Structure 1
């Protein structure tokens, strides 16, 4: 078994168990523990509990690896492998009972820095639907036994996913950007979980996705899904997915979308 396949097996098991824990806590009732960047940017007690569970399981399985989590920050390891984790991506959906949230776990080679790491394995698991998207470097992207492939965009335009930041100051520029996207779009979807948006692009359910202001744990696993499904990724800084922009689409539609974003 290759290293990437081994890491994927570990990520898959832990994502399933962590998702089951998060789902139980949701059924018991959500407690908002804090806010982060803005009043709307919440952290639930389950976010913290689930991340702690994932971190402990990874430390047991691979004690020398690094860890980069949404709730507990970054810590470099000794093996060159770093786990990038969003325990509950789509926390607002989770809090409201909207069934569009996921556990996202990626294993990357290199430090906790999107500009320099190489993703080796990634899992995005929606416990409500039971769908687990997984990918390993060179091993393809999969949903169950189905190998995933990005879509081709027809003359009606692309079905495009996006998101908006929590900071109210970003809303007007985001809406202006959206106005430039609409002429090339069949329609637009705003699901509220970047990992699921990227998984949807990999699965051909969405033709493209773009968003400004995401964090590494939002897109680490999903970006590998898109890449292994034959898609093209870009953004900023440095032409890679990052805080400045994440873009994911099929090879033909990618430059069309990138051109109108003007980021």
Structure 2
């Protein structure tokens, strides 16, 4: 759908205010012994904290006050239908396991999407003070090193690539086998960065992120940021990735195609 220049500017400004509001709720709770953590699963471990819930409530309140016609899809409080054709897709803390462990690799994910996928996105790391944004002609990061443009790394082939995924036991056994085919060809494989790996890809630090079992709120903001920086994000079948599932993000189309050939049998 068409979004006017004026509306694009308003959306981007609101997205930054959402990220600021989430930071204000999350940072006072980070690395605090008093943090309340619950488990979403009867078997296994999928943590959620009071910081996740408070941050999403703060973001939803701003959207409802300023753009009540837009829909909202959030990890903690689900979907609210809108009438504008636009939906805010929120993950208040992507990487809650890292958050409760005290690592600075979690992040706040904010995307504004239509039926075709994300149009604008932010990956925010409050503790480091880094923010990555992409869409509406923007591809930039701000943080301790100042403001910089985002550009994915050019020219790397799989044998020279740095590959990330969050969990070594990625997805199903079949997913794991497919991932290992790519990992065996890559120069370096690293684990455990959650959404921060996608930010590093957009910033030109790494070359590939491959994951499985993602939800829309896990991937829509990274799609917007990476595509704005010149990268490619699809499913393992090469289709649109905004619905989640098996995801490959690559710095270039050539690298994407090279890795996809090894994943495609899945």
Normalised by the size of structure 2, how large is the TM-score? Answer: 0.87
Alignment match, 1:143: 141
Match 1:76 to one of 75, 81, 104? 81
Distance 2:14 2:170 in 1: 40
Alignment match, 1:114: none
Residue deviations 1:146-184, cap 9 Å, x none? 11111121574210111339xx89453343223201232
Distance 1:38 1:196 in 2: 27
Alignment match, 1:187: 188
Distance 1:123 1:201 in 2: 14
Structure 1 pair 237–70 and aligned structure 2 pair: CA distance change class (3 A): farther
Match 2:21 to one of 17, 28, 39? 17
Distance 1:238 1:38 in 2: 33
Match 2:11 to one of 7, 12, 29? 7
Alignment match, 2:215: 215
Instruction: Work out whether residues 167 and 192 of structure 2, in 8 Å CA contact, stay in contact via their aligned partners in 1.
Output: no
Structure 1 runs (4+) greater than 6 angstroms displaced: none
**Deviation (angstroms), 1:44:** 1.2
Alignment match, 2:248: 247
Instruction: Work out whether residues 19 and 110 of structure 2, in 8 Å CA contact, stay in contact via their aligned partners in 1.
Output: yes
**What RMSD over aligned residues (CA atoms) do the two structures have, in Å?**
2.2
Normalised by the size of structure 1, how large is the TM-score? Answer: 0.88
**Deviation (angstroms), 1:49:** 1.4
Structure 1 pair 130–5 and aligned structure 2 pair: CA distance change class (3 A): same
Q: Secondary structure at the match of 1:39?
A: coil
Instruction: Work out whether residues 157 and 255 of structure 2, in 8 Å CA contact, stay in contact via their aligned partners in 1.
Output: no
How many residues end up aligned between the 2 structures?
253
Distance 2:231 2:42 in 1: 31
Structure 1 pair 218–257 and aligned structure 2 pair: CA distance change class (3 A): same
Instruction: Work out whether residues 158 and 185 of structure 1, in 8 Å CA contact, stay in contact via their aligned partners in 2.
Output: yes
Distance 2:235 2:42 in 1: 22
Alignment match, 2:72: 67
Q: Structure 1 unaligned runs (5+)?
A: 111-116
Distance 1:41 1:105 in 2: 21
**Deviation (angstroms), 1:251:** 1.5
Distance 1:37 1:200 in 2: 34
Instruction: Work out whether residues 107 and 126 of structure 2, in 8 Å CA contact, stay in contact via their aligned partners in 1.
Output: yes
